[in-house]
Amino acid sequence: MAMLEHAASMLQMARRDHDALTAMVDLPQVADSIYGFHAQQAVEKALKAWLALRGMRYPLTHDLPRLLSFLRQSGAEVDAFQELDRFTPYAVQARYEAGDPDEEEALDRLAIVAEVEALLTQVARLLDSTEGGSRDAPS
């Protein structure tokens, strides 16, 4: 699959996780661990879409700081999204442990929706700006 098509596919999957976040904002019966998992998944997929847009292959990882580091090393401006790395503990591995990764403080779901939306908007803007070029060319 061409890198641009792959990026678009990853962004679409990230949007599905963001849709789940939006739908679960006011559902207290949904545990923060599940909410955090969808936040982590949306961020991970969006970062991978961004890497694909830059023509970069990425490892199979749920490590958000690592993905942000790859983007930074490629020259991408990711500082505005650095704090999203806090969702790494909610990755698949954390779903099989008892309790939430951070049981002390409830997640601010509305803030999370907005933060993830900002990342998705950034990646969508980059995708839109590259769609006129070659389907395999990095941005």
Domain assignment present for 118: yes
Q: Is residue 97 part of a domain?
A: yes
The 8-class DSSP code of residue 78 comes to -
- DSSP, residue by residue, 40-74: HHHHHHHHHHHHHHTT----S---HHHHHHHHHHT
Residue 90 sits in a domain whose CATH number is: 1.20.120.330
20-45 pLDDT per residue, tens: 999 999 999 999 999 999 999 999 99
Which of the two residues, 2 and 65, has the higher pLDDT score?
65
Q: Domain count of the chain?
A: 1
Residue 139 lies in a domain: no
pLDDT at 103: 56
- pLDDT tens-digit map of 119-138: 999 999 999 998 754 433 44
Please report how many Cα atoms fall inside a 13 Å half-sphere around the Cα of residue 78, on the Cβ side. 23
pLDDT number for residue 130: 87
Residue 134 lies in a domain: no
Enclosing domain of residue 42: 3-129
Tell whether 29 is covered by a domain. Answer: yes
pTM: 0.87
Q: Is residue 65 part of a domain?
A: yes
45-88 tens-digit pLDDT: 999 999 999 999 888 899 999 999 999 999 999 999 999 999 99
On whether the CB atoms of residues 119 and 81 are closer than 8 A, the answer is: yes
Q: Is residue 137 part of a domain?
A: no
- Asked whether residue 34 is assigned to any structural domain, the reply reads yes
